[in-house]
Structure 1
Amino acid sequence: MQYVLIIHEVEDYASWKKVFDEAADIRAEAGEKVYQVLKYVDNPNKVVHFSSWTSIDDAKRFFESPQLVKIRAEAGVKSPDFIYLEQLESGTL
């Protein structure tokens, strides 16, 4: 399984979430399969987007595309950190 962890601050969570939701179709077409959105307990505008992807290459192509750079600017995203991950193991305790 391939994952992407994105940590970024947004100007306003509600505005960011609207743009995020509107981009659901293009995220799915690009290869995003499942996602979670989390926030820092002490900062509601510090957002974590964790998602699984069809491949790391698909994720990089999407997140580094000019289209997404524009969408991030419209959503008020400040300096995102992208971390590309491959699963080694999972379990339930």
Structure 2
Amino acid sequence: MKYVLIIHEVENYDTWKKIFDNASGIRKEAGEISYQVLKYENEPNKIVHFSVWSSLDKAKDFFQSPKLVKIRDEAGVKAPDFIYLEQLETGIL
């Protein structure tokens, strides 16, 4: 499995979430399979977007595209940190 972990601060969660939801179609088309949105416990505008992708190359192309840079600006995203991950192991305890 291929994963992307994005950590970023947003100006306003509700504004960001609306734009994030509206972009679901282009995310799916780009290769995103599933996602989780999390927040820091005491920082409601510090968001973690954890997603599964069909390919890390497709994910990188998508997140670096001028179209997405513009969408992030409109959504009030501040200094996103992208971490591209490959699964080594999984388990249930």
Summarize deviations over 1:11-61 as a string: whole Å, max 9, x none.
Answer: 000000000000000000000001000000010000000000000000000
Counterpart residue identity of residue 49, structure 1: H
Aligned residues: 93
Counterpart residue identity of residue 89, structure 1: E
2:16 maps to 16
- Could you tell me the TM-score, scaled by structure 1's length? 1.00
Distance in structure 2 (CA, Å) of the matches to 1:40 and 1:33 = 23
1:70 maps to 70
1:79 aligns with 2:71: no
Gaps of 5+ in 2: none
2:3 maps to 3
Distance in structure 2 (CA, Å) of the matches to 1:5 and 1:63 = 12
Identity %: 72
Distance in structure 2 (CA, Å) of the matches to 1:18 and 1:83 = 23
Distance in structure 2 (CA, Å) of the matches to 1:20 and 1:11 = 14
Gaps of 5+ in 1: none
Distance in structure 1 (CA, Å) of the matches to 2:63 and 2:85 = 14
2:45 maps to 45
Counterpart residue identity of residue 71, structure 1: I
- Could you tell me the TM-score, scaled by structure 2's length? 1.00
RMSD between superposed Cα atoms in Å: 0.2
1:25 aligns with 2:30: no
